[in-house]
Amino acid sequence: MSYRAKDAIVSKSISASQPPLARSQQVSVEIWASMSDETVDVLIIGSGHSGGMAAKVLTEKGISCLMLNAGPVADVKKDTEVKPAYALPFRGFKQPGTLPHVFQSDEFNANTWVDEKEVPYTYDPQKPYNWVRVRLFGGRSLFWSRQSFRLSDYEFKGKSHDGYGDDWPIALADLAPYYSRVEGIFRVRGRAEGLPQYPDGNYVLDDSPWSGCMQRIIAAARQKGIPVCKARSAQGEDGLASSVNLLIPDAIATGRLRAIPNVVVRELGMDKNTGLVNEARFVDRLSRREMSVKARVVVLAAGTLESTRLLLNSKIANSSGVMGHYLIDQVYGPGIACSVPEARDGKSTEALMGGSALIPRFRNIDTKAKDFIRGYALNLFSGTGGMDPKHFPEYGEGLEKKLASYHGSGFSTGIMGEVLARYENHVSIDKEVVDAWEIPALRIETKYTDNEFNMARDAVDTSVALAEAAGFEVLAKNYDPNPPGYSIHELGTCRMGDDPKTSVLNKWNQSHDIKNLFVVDGAAFVSAGWQNPTMTILALAMRSSEYLAEQMRMGNV
Ligand SMILES: Cc1cc2nc3c(=O)[nH]c(=O)nc-3n(C[C@H](O)[C@H](O)[C@H](O)COP(=O)(O)OP(=O)(O)OC[C@H]3O[C@@H](n4cnc5c(N)ncnc54)[C@H](O)[C@@H]3O)c2cc1C
């Protein structure tokens, strides 16, 4: 049922830019609680990085857009105010039984994440999946850690390099101009390294000096032919690099974006005569009122698995039969914890300790690892604060002395490893389970195999070898990956490709089956690489949206 004009409740403005940001404070998201029978030009589902980018590009090209988002507009300033532990019912610990798969959650940030009871998903208990979701307006862009990398042709053309899987239908050269523009918008800090597996970009120069302990690791790594580079990270504005402060304000400034929070899209409808998608049916999260909107074009940006869930529930765009398959992410968890002896007993100085670095993929570039393909990166961190007591076997006074002695001497590594794209790792609709709005839930079936486990082992052994060569004391090694999904980099399930028989989208993120349907989030990925994916999601969303605008101008869509 459509809302008609007479059903209008209110049309009010709420600040979408909660943090203290001069530019975005001038802008507001228009909240429409009413709908008419109008057909919108482009309907964008989702308001995170990918939806925000689509909105910015399309509205700046003169196209009117309506954005629907499942969750509320957050007042980031108010809602991120950290309460003291004594003011919380569980004293900072997690409420028992809540968010069991969100290892990142605690009582301080419990309001961030999607409640698994409200929006359940299912899995084989032997093969758990940690699906970490945010439904606030702005999605995960409000909380991401901002590591910002490009994929290289070792990922885009992985099959050509080692014979496994499939190449993407695009190469780095196709995406490089878009990466550069995205890096400019997000103010990515880094420096040129001149490595083909770690492509350089458009960076705010990071010319900060290395601390002494990092210099020692760099020297140890050089001996083994392993590069150590500056990490790359989006600075955004005032510490926030989100869609609500960097993308959506530009769209709103055009006067062509309307946005409705708190509405959950349940399915898309088709015009049987044209074979085009023409409608979205959605439910008000709070009142449970059912609504619908007609659209000329639909851009899905609900986050990889929610976009796929929506398409599977709508039973469209899957003539290939590969929708839901090739779910990928990245291996996280394995790494080591060390102490730098020279920094102990009060001798930790700024010159010796602190900072971070990145070892980009170095395996399977020019040589072949013996028991895994593809590769991993290592994040390196040097700490100046307290050590984790779990690294020491002592109790009581002994532990107190150890912690005091080791204070400020920490060094750690952590893997970011490529998970291979496999047909068997997939999602489907669970016919037995629905969410709070009676929308069928997703079933996730995925597991890591020897390639990921062997890669993780190599990452830990390599970390130990580097740390020992640098003269650090290794306190702990962890070889066990966290469950799939933990990296919060779920990708694939509507992969792109040139062949409509083996892929869901073409190289423009456009459905092979339905030309006015685009999926601009991580669902389009063919392979994951080791790189955090958001720069690639943003660059693809920008490229796809420009293509869509041009197709609309030419009357093809
Ligand atoms: C703690 C954390 C750290 C991270 N660190 C990094 C990092 O360092 N580097 C990196 O590259 N990436 C990182 N990521 C991942 C990054 O945040 C995501 O890749 C990126 O934000 C995904 O953007 P998106 O627009 O595709 O999806 P999302 O941000 O998930 O946005 C999807 C939006 O769609 C809406 N939606 C979903 N379903 C529906 C529906 N049915 N109807 C209406 N609306 C719907 C949701 O409300 C949501 O707002 C991190 C993520 C987290 C949470």
- For residue 422, the tally of other CB atoms under 10 A from its CB is 18
Tokens describing residue 23: 């530019």
Q: Whose CA is nearest to atom 26 of ligand 1?
A: 303
What is the pTM assigned to this prediction?
0.94
Q: What are the CB-based long-range contacts (under 8 Å, 24+) for 461-468?
A: 462/226, 462/378, 463/335, 463/336, 463/378, 463/413, 464/336, 465/224, 466/217, 466/220, 466/221, 466/224, 466/226, 466/413, 467/217, 467/220, 467/336, 467/338, 467/411, 467/413
Specify the ligand 1 atom closest to the Cα of 264.
42
Greatest pairwise CA separation for the chain in angstroms: 78
Cα gap 309→324, rounded to integer Å = 8
H or E stretch covering 162: helix 158-162
Task: Tell me what pLDDT residue 19 has.
Answer: 38
With a 6 Å cutoff on the Cβ, whether 71 touches ligand 1 is: yes
Statement: residue 71 has pLDDT above 80: yes
pLDDT beyond 80 at 76: no
Determine whether the shortest distance from the Cβ of 302 to ligand 1 is under 6 A. yes
538 lines ligand 1 (CB under 6 A): no
Please tell me the distance between residue 346's alpha carbon and the centre of ligand 1 in angstroms.
Answer: 42
> Chain-centre distance of CA 17, in angstroms?
21
Backbone Cα Rg of the chain:
24
* Torsion sign over Cα 66, 67, 70, 73: negative
For residue 155 and ligand 1, the question of a CB distance below 6 A is answered with no
The ligand 1 atom nearest the CA atom of 439: 41
Q: Please work out whether the CB of residue 46 comes within 6 Å of at least one atom of ligand 1.
A: yes
Burial label for 146, CB within 10 Å (0-12, 13-18, 19+), is buried
- In which band, very low, low, confident or very high, does the pLDDT at 29 lie, cut at 50, 70 and 90? very low
Q: Which helix (H) or strand (E) holds 41?
A: strand 39-45
**Angle 367-534-202 from CA coordinates, rounded to 5°:** 80
Q: Is the pLDDT at 24 greater than 60, yes or no?
A: no
**Closest residue by CA, ligand 1 atom 36:** 302
For 511-525, write each residue's pLDDT tens digit. Answer: 999 999 999 999 999
For the cut 70, the answer to whether the pLDDT of residue 489 exceeds it is: yes
Binning pLDDT at 50, 70 and 90, where does residue 108 land? Answer: confident
Q: How far apart are the C-alpha atoms of 455 and 421, rounded to whole Å?
A: 15
- pLDDT, mean over the chain: 92
Of 6-10, 23-27, 233-237, the least confident: 6-10
Q: Which residue's C-alpha comes closest to atom 46 of ligand 1?
A: 135
Runs of H (alpha helix) within 32-130 = 49-60, 76-79
pLDDT computed for residue 459 by the predictor: 98
| CA 362 / ligand 1 centre spacing (Å) | 29
Around 556, how many Cα atoms within 13 Å sit in the side-chain half-sphere? 10
Specify the residue with its C-alpha closest to ligand 1, atom 52. Answer: 144
Asked whether 331 and 196 are in contact (CB, 8 A), the reply is no
Using one digit for the tens of pLDDT, what is the confidence trace for 308-319?
A: 999 999 999 999
Q: Does 232 contact ligand 1 (Cβ within 6 A)?
A: no
Which of the pair, 230 or 96, is modelled with greater confidence?
230
Among 73, 114, 136, 140, the mutation site with the greatest number of ligand 1 atoms within 8 A of its Cβ is 140
Question: In angstroms, what is the span from residue 292 Cα to ligand 1's centroid?
Answer: 24
